[in-house]
Amino acid sequence: MRSSKTVHVISAHAEGEVGDVIVGGVAPPPGDTLWDQRSFIARDQTLRNFVLNEPRGGVFRHVNLLVPPKHPEADAAWIIMEPEDTPPMSGSNSICVSTVLLDSGIIPMKEPETHMVLEAPGGLVRVRAECRNGKAQRIFVQNLPSFADKLSVPLEVSGLGTITVDTAYGGDSFVVVDAQTLGFAIVDHEARDIARLGVKITNAANEQLGFSHPENPDWDHISFCAFCGPLSETETGLSGKSAVAIQPGKVDRSPTGTAVSARMALMAAKGLMKPGQTFEAVSIIGSRFTGRILDTAQIGGRPAIVPEISGRGWITGIHQHMLDPDDPWPGGYRLSDTWGV
């Protein structure tokens, strides 16, 4: 077999959401900081197209690039590539990366717990992994500080009229809607409708509400729409279903760690949740992340929380993506039947 490039990947998923990890074959991108490196990948598009576009990728796939850390405290660093964005942080991808680092032996595993500091483009995240019999059983991630942005504001959506939404940041930016009000129970057969409507709501929110991170002006848009179901009380806090619509039109199979963080920030801002309590988030396929408010914080002078999310990840395979020099589609392709473009 001949190939002009070979990219080595360990595939994984976290509670149902694919988060493959590039472990070799790609040189670190240029940049003095991890954010600079992330921005180069976002602008250049070459690596994103190669691993995310068909025939190697698909709208369901996220891919993470391991790079040497820039921060002296970090044990490893990674850059997240999602179908449309190259974001500051991702909960499901942080769980996939942690699982791959430990289960593959890139970072030595210590039982019963391994502690790591990982560097995401948006900042440091601290990881605690419960390990047993050579497997990282559950990953706990101290996420980036998260905050409520706009509470109970009107949004005009074509075909829906005026709805009431919140916006928040949980390592990525969200417009949050009440699923029940919009007629959704968050069950599997609703996935296509949630995905399509979620993209429409996200686009409307960017046009009418906007978003700007107070400490990172480069992050100036709303990425996702989170459909949140009713809350119920548990012995340690609250539980509820949710589904996140991801551009260009899919539903996250996991409960979305950044959405869990954003929702906890909203609940804290509304007086529904306080430090020490837990939030059990249930996805459209029934998988679960557990969130916890560890502490309070300040981001750009506004109240924030320090969230922890936890979930499970599994390795699904090892791949070598190759490029035949005669392949007429070296950057791959996207079609509207699945990509919605």
Q: CB-based contacts of 322: which residues, under 8 Å, 6+ apart?
A: 1, 3, 5, 6, 7
Asked if 99 and 313 touch (Cβ cutoff 8 Å), the reply is: yes
Closest by CA to 93, choosing from 254, 242, 218, 206, is 254
Residues 6+ apart with CB under 8 A from 43: none
Q: Could you write out the DSSP letters of every residue in 21-69?
A: EEEES-PPPS-SSHHHHHHHHHHH-HHHHHHHSBTT--TT--EEEEE--
Dihedral sign for Cα 196, 198, 203, 208, please.
positive
Measured between alpha carbons, how far is 1 from 165 in angstroms, rounded to an integer? Answer: 53
Q: Can you say whether residue 121 is alpha, beta or left, with left for phi > 0 and alpha for psi between -120 and 50 degrees? A: alpha
Query: Are the CB atoms for 52 and 84 separated by under 8 Å?
Result: no
Quick check: 315 and 10 in contact, CB under 8 A?
yes
CB 219 within 8 Å of CB 120: no
d(CA 165, CA 263): 12
Find the catalytic residue in 3, 39, 90, 94: 90
Location of structure tokens 């009000």 = 181
User: Is 283 labeled as catalytic in the residue annotation?
Assistant: no
CB 218 within 8 A of CB 39: yes
| Strand partners of residue 289 | 281
Return the active site residues.
90
